[in-house]
Structure 1
């Protein structure tokens, strides 16, 4: 028996809008089922690999979306832990030719972030 939700677009997941859906599609992720199956970190790594410029808020918003939580629900120790996961993910991307996490962190602090 097939899953009736298997073809739901990623935008069927709360808080995933058109811009993030476009970035996910460039990474080959077009359904909510695919996204749930691979998880936020793998999906975000694929997004970065396919040209999305890293931004911490976009990463943690994706994590929150997959948990069914508002994008801005991430605070305190949880946010700190997610920042460490994001930095590790971006460091891996950097080692394979991705963005510089120190530059991204500095731009995030002054409110610009790396965005398209």
Structure 2
């Protein structure tokens, strides 16, 4: 089983975040795919960042996270917004309200 950090563009911080949603290997991430994995991350309270999603998608393609052209980047942005929207719709309570206000505390360890 390969460490998550063996996926291009993913470092120790992303590996810690993936552990929060029970993902511990590169094989698990590859099997689930970027959209599912990123949705799970957001569901654990990790604040969504397009750059992190971009790094994940490009890493799974063994590409540098800065490599997409403007058209591809726009398509990826739509995917990211869709994942974020679905995940936010599933939130309830104080977390959803804090996210709505943009004041949710950092969930990092």
Relative contact order (alpha carbons < 8 A, sep ≥ 6): 1 or 2 greater?
Answer: 2
Identify the residue that residue 19 of structure 1 maps to in structure 2.
13
**Structure 1 stretches (4+) deviating beyond 2 angstroms?**
none
Matched, 1:49 2:14: no
Tell me the C-alpha RMSD between the 2 structures. Answer: 1.8
Identify the residue that residue 65 of structure 2 maps to in structure 1.
71
What TM-score comes out, normalization by structure 1 length? 0.78
Segments of structure 1 that go 5 or more residues without pairing to the other structure are: 1-6, 104-113
Find the aligned partners of 1:72 and 1:82 in 2 and give their Cα distance.
12
Contact kept in structure 1, 2:45 and 2:107, CA below 8 Å: no
Segments of structure 2 that go 5 or more residues without pairing to the other structure are: none
What TM-score comes out, normalization by structure 2 length? 0.82
